Amino acid sequence: MTGTPAGRFRVEADAASRGLTIEIFPRQAANSLVEAAAILGIEPADIVKSLVVKRSDDSFLFALIPGDRAISWPKLRAVVGVNKLQMPHADVALAATGYERGTITPLGSTTPWPVFADEAMVGQRVAMGAGEHGYSLFVQADDLIAALGATVADISSAV
């Protein structure tokens, strides 16, 4: 687990510095988002995927997408104001955030990339990665959005 042992502690420290209340707890491993939701006792829509997206200038952004939805590339490109975006390889995402896939969150990222949150998560209590395998966090989406200064927009589509 390269780079992850301190992950949840970075998340906690970043949340505290922002005055953001989060709950981090251990959980068993899951093989899918649906399985993770069942373990947590929530619906897949209540898990927010933190996706690292690469811009053509080699900078990145976070896209926060509810678990029952998929990123809409045309919508996200329009909101960001660019013609090209892509998902980087896992090693590139790790280098950009300090987190392995499956643990990624904007909280405690080694670089504070801009955050774009899908409007479907507004008003919800959501679960997301906590920076380390075997842990999840719960947070009020509106508080997370405010703490991160995230741009809220329609950036997803139904799957």
pLDDT in tens, 114-131: 999 999 999 999 999 999
Give pLDDT, residue 2.
46
Would 1 be classed as within a structural domain? no
Comparing CA positions, the residue from 84, 44, 87 lying closest to residue 66 is 44
SS3 10: helix
Number of domain units in the chain: 1
Give the alpha-carbon dihedral of 93, 99, 101, 107, to 10 degrees. Answer: -100
Give me the domain span that covers residue 154.
7-158
Give pLDDT, residue 4.
40
In this prediction the pTM is: 0.94
CATH number at residue 88: 3.90.960.10
